[in-house]
Amino acid sequence: MQILIINPNTTASMTAKIGASARSVANPGTEVTTVNPDKGPVSIEGFYDEAFAVPGLIEEIRKGEAQGYDGYIVACFDDPGLTAARTITDRPVVGICEAAIHMATLVALRLCIITTMQRSVAGAEELIRRYGVTDRCRMRWIEASVLDIETPGTDVADQLRSEVQKTVREDNAEAVLLGCAGMADLAGALTQEFGLPVIDGVAAAVKLAEAMIGLGLKTSKVGGYGAQLAKVYTGDFAKYQPGS
């Protein structure tokens, strides 16, 4: 089974970290490949970055289709481009936010997502609504840029620790979701320390993708995820034209 994980930002060190997290949970028979686009933002922190991460993401999935991958993971907690990606392949495409939420609801009633910055809260709440957990999922945040999280020596882990503690006491949270692919390596230690599920979306998505592929589940081609209609794309984007 071959899974392609696309880190939709262009920071190779984060791609590597994502790959490590993914491989640490992948089945023996699963071959995980990680890539990132060569175009677009070095980190995704808001709607604008998302918009420019999507074309590169799509391009990587199109390349993946040519190479015959069995499934895809979009490794950014904003789940950018997920719906578009699903129109170009019938193979499973899994976002790490949705993966974390699905897994979490199977082991806990009340959830809390801890995201990187206050400014990311409102955007993440749109996802919470889309995934149907508004009533049971709180948002909390630290203050650290995505690239800070990559940098050794910051207090990111301490900030996370403090928010986990608060959400258990004040919000009755029963599981915590780490709101950034870059936090993947902290999930294990926090789970240990606090004795409750602290979920990394990358790992969750790898296991979900394996499950879907193993099940032979394909993206529906009836309705919203149907194959894109043939049409002309002009200018710089002609190369992305459906069918091209």
111-115, strands of its sheet edge to edge: 137-141, 111-115, 175-178, 198-200
| Residue 219 lies near a copy of itself (rule: CB under 8 A) | yes
> How many residues belong to the site for a copy of itself (CB under 8 A)?
101
Which is it for strands 71-74 and 31-35: parallel, antiparallel or unpaired?
unpaired
Consecutive H or E run containing 23: helix 12-25
Inter-helix orientation angle 121-130/96-105, to 10°: 60
Task: At 98, list the tokens.
Answer: 């949705």
Q: Cβ(91)–Cβ(210) under 8 Å?
A: no
Q: What is the dihedral of CA 123, 124, 128, 129, to 10 degrees?
A: 0
> How near is the Cβ of 9 to a copy of itself at its closest, in Å?
9
Which residues 165-184 are close enough to bind a copy of itself by CB under 8 A?
A: 168, 172-175
199 sits near a copy of itself (criterion: CB under 8 A) = yes
Contact between 207 and a copy of itself per CB under 8 A: yes
**The residue to which tokens 């949970």 are assigned:** 25
Residue from the set 3, 120, 184, 190 that interacts with a copy of itself by CB under 8 A: 120
Q: Residues 77, 136, 149, 156: which binds a copy of itself (CB under 8 A)?
A: 136
Decide whether 11 or 17 has the Cβ nearer to a copy of itself.
Answer: 11
Applying CB under 8 A, does 65 fall inside the site for a copy of itself?
no
Minimum gap (Å) between residue 177 Cβ and a copy of itself: 12
Instruction: Indicate whether 233 belongs to the interface with a copy of itself (CB under 8 A).
Output: yes
Question: Cα torsion for 159, 82, 13, 117, to the nearest 10°?
Answer: -20
Q: Which stretch in 14-22, 151-159, 178-186, 225-233 sits in contact with a copy of itself by CB under 8 A?
A: 225-233
Could you tell me which stretch among 15-23, 116-124, 154-162, 177-185 binds a copy of itself (CB under 8 A)?
A: 116-124
Distance CA 2, CA 72 (A): 9
From 13, 126, 151, 193, residue interacting with a copy of itself (rule: CB under 8 A): 126
CB nearer a copy of itself, residue 189 or residue 211: 211
Of residues 68 and 223, the one with the C-beta less far from a copy of itself:
223
The stretch near a copy of itself (CB under 8 A) out of 13-21, 53-61, 150-158, 177-185 is 53-61
Q: Is 66 in the site for a copy of itself (CB under 8 A)?
A: no
What's the length of the chain? 244
Could you write out the DSSP letters of every residue in 214-227?
HHT-----SSTTSP
